[in-house]
Chains A and B, each alone.
Chain A
């Protein structure tokens, strides 16, 4: 039972345009969501997060939107740059369970073409 799903295994975008990566979850107890970026042969790098009490969090070119009623979140990258090409993982945390257990989606490979 996959509690966090990234239904698009890959996405290709032109440099300068917007990249939108999507993530759906099933567990309504999740209260903290994170996006990680992973380059080949490296570990995931924390990118941005959002608490369930918010519906938007912005950090430079990166914005995460959370729609709790739809159990959906998305990461917007604008403008996209070739250096953004990587695998993006969505992850969710049930903070009040106090387990620290991140549940990851399977990742979306983003390719930004020059």
Chain B
């Protein structure tokens, strides 16, 4: 089945210790997105890739970076996690920007 996969599902990191979250897709979609969702809040877009073009949201902290080495994979790097970065991180894909987005199961990040 075509899908969006996120690994790991749960990640614990220490304050200030870099962490990388992974997303892969078998849908062959052009666009990949990273969202942050904190408890009881709406998912918030951090950035997206249209093919190899990186598009950062204006209010995404510099602490968050992303890489897309190929069509299938996209990574979220948090360079120095703070306690406020504890959240669910959702990866999504879409064929084009105006199409519905398909989400992975998310990675829940805990910062200790």
Interface of A toward B, CB cutoff 8 Å:
2, 4, 32, 34, 36, 41-46, 49, 89, 93, 95, 98-107
Interface residues of B (CB under 8 A from A): 4, 6, 9, 31, 33, 40-45, 48, 50, 55, 57, 90-92, 94, 96-98, 100-106
25 contacts between A and B (CB under 8 A): A2-B42, A4-B42, A34-B100, A43-B4, A43-B90, A43-B91, A43-B103, A43-B105, A44-B43, A44-B103, A45-B103, A46-B100, A46-B101, A89-B43, A95-B97, A99-B55, A100-B33, A100-B48, A100-B98, A100-B101, A101-B45, A101-B48, A102-B45, A106-B40, A107-B40
**Cβ–Cβ < 8 Å partners of B104 in chain A:** 43
Q: Kindly report which residue of chain A lies nearest to residue B57, judged by CB atoms.
A: A101
Check if B42 sits within 8 Å of A106, measured CB to CB. Answer: yes
Q: Which residues of B lie under 8 Å from residue A41 when comparing CB positions?
A: 9, 105-106
CB contacts (< 8 Å) of A105 on chain B: these are 42
Measured CB to CB, the nearest residue on chain B to A109 is B40
Most A CB within 10 A of own CB, among B31, B41, B43, B44:
B43
Residues of A within 8 A of B33 (CB): 100
Minimum C-beta distance from B103 to chain A (A): 4
Q: CB-CB < 8 A to A102: which residues of B?
A: 43, 45, 101
- Contacts beyond the supplied A42-B105, A43-B105, A100-B33: 14 A-B pairs with Cβ under 8 Å: A41-B106, A43-B4, A43-B6, A43-B106, A46-B101, A98-B98, A101-B45, A101-B48, A102-B45, A103-B42, A104-B42, A105-B42, A106-B40, A106-B41
